[in-house]
Structure 1
Amino acid sequence: MRALTEDDVRAAFVNAAPDEVAQLAVPHDFVLIDWDHLDFLAWSDPLLRGRGYVVAELDGEPTGVVLRAASGANRARAAMCNLCHTMQPGNQVALFTARKAGDAGIRGDSVGTYMCTDLSCHENVRLAGPLAPSEVRASVDRRIDGTRHRIEAFVGRVAHGTG
């Protein structure tokens, strides 16, 4: 991912109202981000519980979406993140929704998927965890490419008001 300034990040959001962009808190380690090794930027808002942000490159341009975690009881069973395809304890995966951009979002349309609650998918695909019985480990590069493809598809559905 190409290096972005805080202003670039704020300007990238396609489904945020101006007041949401003004309230947006960038990650506390923003100035330390190693952009050369980042496929997309995702973080939880440190001030607003249940809110997260994702910025991915679509057609070479940074595109950001505001996410909201669904509230509700945590599950006791394991669950899989739909982005990084990592199995997690049930309380570490949540349904996140994003209001669609444009007229669709004004009408209240949204897109949702299950994600790691801490939005750490970028790191999770790089970890080599123990294999479960009959689990075949995909190469790390394939896992990284798959996660990047799925996050770009999700951001694209939000940005283009589809899906």
Structure 2
Amino acid sequence: MSPLTEKQIRDSFVNATKREIAQATLPDLAEVAWERLDYLGWRDRKAPLAAYVTVWCDGEPVSVLLRAPSAGADRRRSKGVCAWCEDVVVTDDVSLYAARRAGAAGRKGDTIGTLVCTEFGCSRNVRRKPTYTEAGNDPAVHEVFTELRIAGLQERSQRFAREVLRTR
């Protein structure tokens, strides 16, 4: 993922009010390992029910305000597969996130939801060493398998951002 500034992220929100954008607490961008990310996702430490993702779509950053699960929901979370990284090994830290659609649809209350790794660890998950069942023992197969997982994560996260932007 290409590095972004705070201004670029704040300017790229598509489903948040000016007030929500101004109040958003961003991560320390100087500490972000951009080269190891396929999207930037974080939970707001000051607003526990707010989370955010920034995805590159068609060469532009698209940031989405998400409604995060409540702390009580985290304790009762059951196992599931993240819809973005589709990791079958890490299945115990997945939560349902909801986003208002952009524009008039979002102002009317239209939302879209997805199961995503609670702490947005998808980029790490797709880069983990494949299990024997997934890719055998051949290092060349491991490399191709990992590249396919990375491409799949990018495609699915971009598809979600485009769905938030969709007007009909």
Query: TM-score normalized by structure 2?
Result: 0.84
Q: CA–CA distance in 2 between the matches of 1:35 and 1:119? A: 14
Q: Which consecutive residues of structure 2, in runs of 5 or more, have no partner in the other structure?
A: 136-141
Q: CA–CA distance in 2 between the matches of 1:115 and 1:2? A: 22
What's the secondary structure of 2:113's corresponding residue?
Answer: strand
Partner of 2:45: 46
1:4-43 to structure 2, matched below 5 A, reads 4-28=4-28, 30-43=29-42
Shift of 1:38: 2.8
1:150 corresponds, among 150, 156, 168, to 156
Equivalent pairs: percent with the same residue? 37
Q: CA–CA distance in 1 between the matches of 2:46 and 2:17? A: 17
Do residues 161 (structure 1) and 164 (structure 2) align? no
More helix by share: 2
Aligned pair count reads 156
Kept in 2, the 8 Å contact 1:44–1:52? The answer is: yes
Q: Which consecutive residues of structure 1, in runs of 5 or more, have no partner in the other structure?
A: none
RMSD: 1.9
Kept in 1, the 8 Å contact 2:36–2:123? The answer is: no
More strand by share: 1
Q: Which amino acid aligns with 1:100?
A: R
Kept in 2, the 8 Å contact 1:105–1:161? The answer is: no
Partner of 2:96: 95
